Chain A
Amino acid sequence: MLDTTLNLGSRVVLPKPEFDLLLADLRQSGYQTVGPRLQDESIVYSGIDSLADLPRGVTTEQAPGKFRLMRTDRERYFDFIPGAQSWKQFLFPPRLKLFSASKEKRWELDRSDDACPRYALVGVRGCELAAIEIQDKAFLRDDFEDPTYRARREGLFIIAINCLQPAGTCFCASLGTGPRVERNFDLCLTELDDAFLVEIGSDLGRSLMAGRNFELASAFVQNTADQALARAAGQMGRTLDTSDLPDLLTHSANLDARHWDEVARRCLSCGNCTQVCPTCFCWDVTDTVNLTATTTVRERVWDSCFNPYFSYQAGGNTRPTIRSRYRQWLSHKFGTWVQQYGSLGCTGCGRCITWCPAGIDHVAEIAALREEVKE
């Protein structure tokens, strides 16, 4: 070990075997280490113990409605682009018990949040980190914060990864969220052949790195990493022109564009895009009451604005057609989100494009809408 002082922003080289010790340390301090794993011909996020659990030597081919794993000729751990799952499942679980109540003589309420572990997320991409920032704005508002989200968010340890191999549906460079991770991490990795270039992002990250067997990053190594990142930025599968956003989608004259009818013919309204979107935060609350009406469980579950009953209210459904639901979703993400939260609701991860069974490409739809209203 070198006698070196680590500062925030320091970049050092950590041999890959050392990284496993770091993960072990995190678990020792009470974190559940979660990261990418191969499962069912795809990549999911779940518990990992060491680098051996990661999808090594694997890349992904992604296109509208299509995801395929491919072998690569190099044995790296992070050459893939993630699958449908995003980190939101840990901060905003798809099903969460809010409380249960039971009645013997009188009703007793049980509000215990029993499943609230501290997570260390391993391999968070720039687009994904930006998505967490966006969900923070939705769940941790000044006037209201969601206690279940707060509890999960505060305990988080984030190991980010700079993306070097963007997929065909990636467009983070258009939105400025990647491929380089800029902020809000504890540690950020850039993968080299035998080591990781590690950037220190927080005091917690610094203390975890202190005493480890790292080396100073030479100018050559830093250059190599920076060049690989610059190359990745130029290899985005898609480019989204954001120059006229959000106006293109919020301008009232564009609400009746023919293109909405055209998309509505293809859209299945199945809701997949909203479920895989790392920023979508809509939920439903359901009560399950037993036969004798003596126990009830209230759960929060992921919902979707594509569900016909999502906007059902007294008197009917305000968005009864697929056209109205698709338009609402797209114009929220790329339009009204800006008024609501100060940024677009998209980070360019491309999941909604890859995992749409109908292969609808929202980047192309926005471009088509732009073409039509230009006429």
Chain B
Amino acid sequence: MVSFTAGDAVARRPAKPGRLSRFFFAGNGAGYMFLAPWLIGFLGLTLGPALASLYLSFTDYDLLQSPRFVGMDNYVRMATGDAKFAAAMKVTFIYVILSVPLKLIFALALAMAFNRGIKGLPFYRAVFYLPSLLGGSVAIAVLWRQLFAADGLVNSVLSVFGIDGPSWISNPNYSLYTLVVLSVWQFGSPMIIFLAGLRQIPQDMYEAANMDGASKARQFFRITLPLLTPVIFFNFVIQTIDAFKAFTPSFIISAGTGGPINSTLFYTLYLYQEAFGFFRMGYASALAWVLVLIIAVFTAFSFLTARYWVHYDE
């Protein structure tokens, strides 16, 4: 008769893998294989360079010589001795403050018009979405420059009505606002999201309000807007982040200068000039991290205040 002791059983059991290796490898091999391209890309092309730029932001680095550690010097210069930085901040904040609300209002107005169930809606939706696909491109920025130049199409049209239009892009009083208009013109993406949000509001809410005698304006302010706040919040955060990061329109229309008189000097354009114009990679990295910080603070602030004005149904 063959018998086993407890000791035999323990000796024959394979060694238990560690907790960490069990988490990563217990039957998940195929999953990690599929994840690998993204994971490699994220580590090599996003996280790695981001961490490298964080380090470079504390250095003086011109691409030719090795980075020289300068501590907080880059950040101190930004805060105290860089007038162009202050100008870029001012331009960017004006651009964000004007373009985001205007774009959202325009997008919401059109979404509400489309939500009334007009004929050929898919066609119009595609047509109105088109600028969002093209708007950020170099070609559209070039076209915009032609439209708003002193002898451009806009002024030609204005001259028909006897108005002598200024040079919209070379006059510092108007140039930034021309870029704001270009941004608002790209309302397609938030419009589509607003339209989806409007479709989610149950029709019987409006019917109940109708029976209560609520006017269309009251229905809009007391029902549509509050119920749309989750979508407004989403669009607001995404569009604001996009506006802070805007680069192409300013780069093309001002031919990379941010002029006239720094009036279109977006923050990202200034960053680009410092990095690839003057090869001050350390300072440009510091600028990039300050922008990250601004966006992070704005986003955190938005989320913190959301509980007071965003209404989630469930």
Task: Verify that A and B bind, or say they do not.
Answer: no
Interface residues of A (CB under 8 A from B): none
